[in-house]
Amino acid sequence: MDKIIIRGGNRLSGTIPISGAKNAALTLIPCALLTDEPLTLRNLPRLADIDGFQHLMTQFGVSVAIAGHRPEDFGRVVTLQATRLTSTVAPYDLVRKMRASILVLGPLLARAGEATVSLPGGCAIGNRPIDLHLKALEAFGAEIELAQGYVRAVAPDGGLPGGDFDFPVVSVGATENALMAAVLAKGTSRLSNAAREPEIVDLCNLLCAMGAEIEGIGSSELVVHGVPRLNGATYKVMPDRIEAGSYACAAAITGGSVRLEGARADEMSATLHALRNAGVTVESDAKGISVEVHGPLKPVNLSTAPYPGFATDMQAQLMALLCRAEGASVLTETIFENRYMHVPELNRMGANIETSGRTAIVHGVEALTGAEVMATDLRASMSLVIAGLAAEGETQVHRLYHLDRGYERLEEKLALLGADIERVGG
């Protein structure tokens, strides 16, 4: 099995292109199920999760065509077309490795009137039930049945009538599924306390480009007027705000100076605020973000929260950065109850982190030391890479399949900045 070897101590410097957002792309791809016309997605990142989702789409009879590209380029142009749906079943073997697979439920139900989807898998970062997905679809008129590890959803004859749903807690995935189900409903649907993440806005913008009618985009109150059909579209995937934040932490922990080309400051204000509080100089313009460190890092206290709060997907990376701060930081994880599995691995590298329930206290240390470490989930993997970049000696990161799910050609991008990093087959 492959591993990444990092020889730490190099100051990162230069420009790095930010890829298309994984979390947005995994929501945009199933939109192809809503129309028989071609959907072309530009800036689609080359990731294991994207490849897996594209493979899942072929299960339903969707054709997938990847435009020619140069090997040195980042991103792809992919055209998906569901001229005719040949199946409405998403089997366990294809769904179990990727939680985002549940996002085919809404569009299949909307277009075909039925869907049978295996309960999803994904990273082991805590309990992530899909009950809100199902309750929203029921509010729109679907009949839901759970049996033998599958969800079966059926719309009334003539399609979903639409309806109102008030999310008791904010759920990104459930908001996405509900939106894709509502766009072809017979009536108007209202979503209250909906998620506001930039990826939700990206989804709404694509759906509108396909002919959907959605009001309140960017707010927690969404109104969807169902339309009889949607058309195809060509759409560019938004830049990955989590990737950008991750590389910002990598630059900062090495005392570096890095330009994040294509990153949008308005979509990651909570991350940039945390970095500034940690002593990182952050400047932005219409084309990207620049980060630089001139002095010692400072401790930070913060809690994860739904957007526009500090993203749970940035918690592990910021924790790695704060291992080198002068003082004690306090991080509270409010989204997932089991998202500190990277802590023992960081402590193996000389970090001093204590956890109690959902709270972690990070005592800054003078130096980190290289070690063999094991990735436990996607963002935890990146935290170990960030720590390794600043550690004395050699760090070996195992279980790279986690990293490959969410970071496009990570070692190549870091090498562009001067990191001593390589992938080694095992």
In single-letter form, the type of residue at position 254 comes to T
Collect all residues with Cβ–Cβ distance below 8 Å to 99 and sequence separation of at least 6.
Answer: 120, 121, 122, 123, 128, 173
129 labeled part of a ligand binding site? yes
In single-letter form, the type of residue at position 200 comes to I
Q: Beta partners for 44?
A: 76
11 labeled part of a ligand binding site? no
Active-site residue, 208 included: no
Quick one: which of 405, 232, 288, 295 has its CA closest to 16?
A: 288
For residues 244, 247, 251 and 257, what is the CA-based torsion angle, rounded to 10 degrees? -40
> What span, in angstroms and rounded, lies between the C-alpha atoms of 206 and 42?
12
| Site of tokens 């400051």 | 265
177 labeled part of a ligand binding site? no
What is the number of residues in the chain? 426
Distances (CA, A) of 271 to 103, 160, 201, 312: 27, 39, 18, 10
Quick one: which of 419, 366, 365 has its CA closest to 397?
A: 419
Specify whether the CB–CB gap between 215 and 223 falls below 8 A. Answer: yes
Given the residues 31, 123, 204, 323, select the one marked as catalytic. 123
> What span, in angstroms and rounded, lies between the C-alpha atoms of 63 and 80?
6
266 labeled part of a ligand binding site? no
23 labeled part of a ligand binding site? yes
130 labeled part of a ligand binding site? yes
| Site of tokens 């709404």 | 204
313 labeled part of a ligand binding site? yes
51 labeled part of a ligand binding site? no
User: Which of the residues are catalytic?
Assistant: 123
Binding residues for UDP-N-acetyl-alpha-D-glucosamine: 99, 128-132, 313, 335
Binding residues for phosphoenolpyruvate: 22-23
Binding residues: 22-23, 99, 128-132, 313, 335
